[in-house]
Structures are given as structure tokens and as C-alpha cells.
Structure 1
Amino acid sequence: MRVADSETAERIPNVHAIIATRNILVHAYAQVDQQKVWEIITQDLPALVPVLESLLSGVEAK
């Protein structure tokens, strides 16, 4: 899987799983496991938000 900014991508936990999930949501919507999406939203996303906010604050400061 190719990532546009590999340096930033390395700082995002599970970046390849995030990209794969996005691809399923966009390209194979009929096959989406709604329970899995809910688990991602309720369990994984809360921990990811501070990481992304930190990365964004670094971009805003430049």
C-alpha cells in the first residue's frame, strides 16, 4: 500500500488498517460489516483523535 507522506504515516497507529477500512467503505459499501464499523468508532477512534490532533497542530505551527 502506497502512502503519500510516509514520514507522517509512520506516526499514525495502524495507518494501513485505516486506509484499508476507508477503501472498503468507499469501494465495497455493500460488504461493510456494520458491527465492525461501530467497534472502530467506539473503541479505536477515541485513541486516534489525540494523535491526529497532535499531527495537525504541528502542521498549523509551520
Structure 2
Amino acid sequence: MGDTVDVIAIVTKVDHERKRVYFDTICNINGERVIEGEAELYVPAPTEAGQAALEAAIINI
């Protein structure tokens, strides 16, 4: 308890055709690197409601 956890995700590749984004990941606890890895994220096309919410959020920034 009370530890500071820092997570860094660096985009390494975007595959528009497969709708995937790839990352290198690093996790530090109290300034010490404890784990490294890779992540793959599927990014689906936005729904109408999701797109409207995104546009509303951008307008309110």
C-alpha cells in the first residue's frame, strides 16, 4: 500500500486493416522497473452514439 505505480505505453504500430494498435509497455513501482511487455488493442469502428459522444466531448474541451 502507498506505492507509486507508473505505466508507460508506447505505440509501436498501427494496423488500420486489422483495426489493431500495438504497444511496448513498461511498469515502474517507486521508480524501479518491474515488468516490460507488449500489448495489442483491437479498436472497433465507433457506433453512432459513441461518435456523437466523442464529438460532444471534443467541443466541450
> Could you tell me the TM-score, scaled by structure 1's length?
0.28
| Greater C-alpha Rg | 2
> Could you tell me the TM-score, scaled by structure 2's length?
0.28
Please state which structure has a larger fraction of its residues in helix.
1
**Higher relative contact order at CA 8 Å, sep ≥6: structure 1 or structure 2?**
1
Please state which structure has a larger fraction of its residues in strand.
2
